Structure 1
């Protein structure tokens, strides 16, 4: 797979991330793929935490079930990440992407 395909696949669920990660490990490490692996892993973590938090809030206060729509924001960010990878740009996902640019050291080129 080429680097653009790996970057796009990394955003498609955690299974896609794992596939992209292992395909990337077998090949020459490209900073573009590393960047999108970091962004998509960060989104997955935020999505998981947000899902757990909204479930807890809704189970405690059912009247706040509208809070569950916050998970749609994560889906929109995922789509924006896919579009950025498809355009072959290294641009952070809006709002939360900058937090993950220097995280996940195990993905670095010199690792």
Structure 2
């Protein structure tokens, strides 16, 4: 699979992320594009999971807030699609709203940054 393909697959569910991650780890030449999009998609997965739990708890307490879960799900889908389009264009742009927070937080290529030592 190409680097572009791995970057796109990283956004397609948690299973796609795991497949992309395992394929990336096997490679001798680590692509910065795949590394970047693995981090962005993992950030999106973490945020959507946390928001899903929070909204579920709130909807259980206040049932009239259940419609908020549809808005959150729609926003997650839009961010996922934007991530796929960005990966398809082979660009390393952060996702809107949450992307800057996760930029540079994850390093999947196994190298230790000299500045962090």
- TM bucket (normalised to shorter chain) is over 0.9
Residue 42 (str. 1) matches residue 51 (str. 2)? no
TM-score relative to the length of structure 2: 0.90
Q: What does the per-residue CA deviation read over 1:4-48, in whole Å, with 9 as the maximum and x for residues that have no partner?
A: 000000000000000000101111111110000000000000010
The answer on 1:80 being equivalent to 2:94 is no
How many residue pairs match? The answer is 110
Shift >3 Å, 4+ stretches? none
Pick from 100, 103, 114: which aligns with 1:101? Answer: 103
Q: Are 2:94 and 1:92 equivalent residues in the alignment? A: yes
Matched, 1:2 2:18: no
Task: Specify the alignment match of 2:15 in structure 1.
Answer: 15
Residues 29-73 of structure 1: CA deviation (Å, up to 9, x unaligned): 111100000000000000100110110000000011111122210
C-alpha RMSD over aligned residues = 1.1
Task: Give ranges in structure 2 of 5+ residues lacking alignment.
Answer: 113-117
CA distance in 1, matches of 2:110, 2:92: 15
TM-score (norm 1): 0.94
